[in-house]
Amino acid sequence: MAMRESFPAALRPTGFGALARRVAGLPLGVTVAGLWLSAMVVIALGADLMLPYSVTAFDLKARLMPPVLFGGGIAHPLGTDELGRDVFSRLLLSIRMSLLIAFFGTLIATTLGTALGFLAAHFRGRVESVILMAIDFQASMPFMIIALSVLAFFGNSLPLFVALMGFHSWERYARIARGLTLAANEQGYAAAVRQLGAGPGRIYGLHILPNIASTLIVSMTLTFPEIILLESGLSFLGLGVQPPLTSLGNMVGYGREYITRAPWIMLAPAGVIVLTTLSISLLGDWLRDRLDPTLR
């Protein structure tokens, strides 16, 4: 912000120069985190185009080859597994799966939670008590346990699993949306729009939502890594993403059996999980300081 104000409008640099200057103003950790996450997003979007090998192609002559700096060849930069399948290719597909699940999970949790928060704040009374009770229930049980029991009752399929991840931490958004909406309803702008005859859809969608969006976005940077951890934990236990699909947790669980002979099968996806969640947390902390005074 300070940077933008320091240039007169007519002289404001444009294009790459401005971008570079702005990036140079960021803390180093945030820059690295941002670069790492951009790489992850590019992989998630274009994994199919980047695969050096087919994930199912095996090469029995090159079984359990170590990664490139540990005595392996450049042909398989992260080594191979016990059937000679390329670990790097599997890793790319796993990154895509884990990020997609976390993305849709976060989206569902945010939408559901915010909608319920609006409903509670709009109707008050009995609707509000029911929603508050559901929030209490969700907050009082570890979500891992709820998720495991739902998987036991319903069995597992990818759409169900993604929907289940969407129920993680919806209560956070419901709480935030309800609290901030109650506060907004006492401020002038919501009352003014209501006096002008706007319906609830317009008030909540066009006026209150933009005003509370920054807090919601900061919360999303908390939910996203949490869902990655939850998904990879369940997949690691063999109860999440099912083969032949693969996710980061899946790969760790599977690599665990080769921990003595080929630890790279496990370490590569584990490293990606840690770096990704770490980057989002760093970026989220930074965003929180910039965007949202209420969460500090």
Partner 1 sequence: MLMFAVSRLLRAGLTILFVMTFAFVVLRLSGDPALLIMSVDAPPEAIQAFRKAWGLDRSLWEQYFAYIGHATTGDFGKSMRDGRPAIELVMERVPATLVLTLPALALKVGIGIPAGIYAALHRNTFADRLTMAVSVAGFTMPSFVLALVLVLIFAVTLGWLPASGADSPVHAILPIVTLGTAGAAIMARFTRSAMLEVLGQPYIRAASAKGVTWPRVVARHALPNAAIPTVTIIGFMIGSLVAGAVVVETVFAWPGVGRLLVLAVANRDLSVVQAILMVIAAWMVSANLAVDLAYGWLDPRVRGIAASGH
Binding range to partner 1, per CB under 8 A, among 20-28, 78-86, 95-103, 227-235: 227-235
CB of 39 to partner 1, least distance (A): 17
Residue among 45 and 274 whose Cβ is closer to partner 1: 274
Binding range to partner 1, per CB under 8 A, among 18-26, 136-144, 170-178, 201-209: 136-144
- The yes or no reply on residue 287 touching partner 1 (CB under 8 A) is no
- The yes or no reply on residue 140 touching partner 1 (CB under 8 A) is yes
Residue owning tokens 């398989």: 76
- Please list every residue from 92 through 121 that binds partner 1, using CB under 8 A: none
CB of 238 to partner 1, least distance (A): 7
- The yes or no reply on residue 239 touching partner 1 (CB under 8 A) is yes
Cα separation of 151 and 261, whole Å?
A: 33
Q: CB atoms < 10 A from the CB of 271, how many? A: 13
- The yes or no reply on residue 12 touching partner 1 (CB under 8 A) is no
CB of 11 to partner 1, least distance (A): 37
CB of 192 to partner 1, least distance (A): 29
All residues at 6 or more sequence positions from 10 whose CB lies less than 8 Å from its CB, including other chains = none
Q: CB atoms < 10 A from the CB of 6, how many? A: 8
- The yes or no reply on residue 266 touching partner 1 (CB under 8 A) is yes
Binding range to partner 1, per CB under 8 A, among 67-75, 87-95, 201-209, 271-279: 271-279
Contact yes or no for 166/108 (Cβ under 8 A): yes
Question: Alpha helix (H) ranges present in the chain?
Answer: 2-6, 15-24, 28-50, 87-123, 125-140, 143-154, 158-166, 170-185, 188-195, 200-202, 209-236, 248-255, 264-291
- The yes or no reply on residue 181 touching partner 1 (CB under 8 A) is no
The one-character DSSP state at 204 is: I
- Which residues are registered as beta bridge partners of 86? 80
Mark 38-77 with x for binding to partner 1 (rule: CB under 8 A) and - for no binding.
----------------------------------------
Cα separation of 231 and 239, whole Å?
A: 9
Cα separation of 27 and 60, whole Å?
A: 47
Contact yes or no for 79/262 (Cβ under 8 A): yes
Which residues are at the interface with partner 1 (CB under 8 A)? 133, 136-137, 140-142, 144-145, 148-155, 225, 229, 232-233, 236-239, 249, 252-253, 256, 259-260, 263, 266, 270, 273-274, 277-278, 281-282
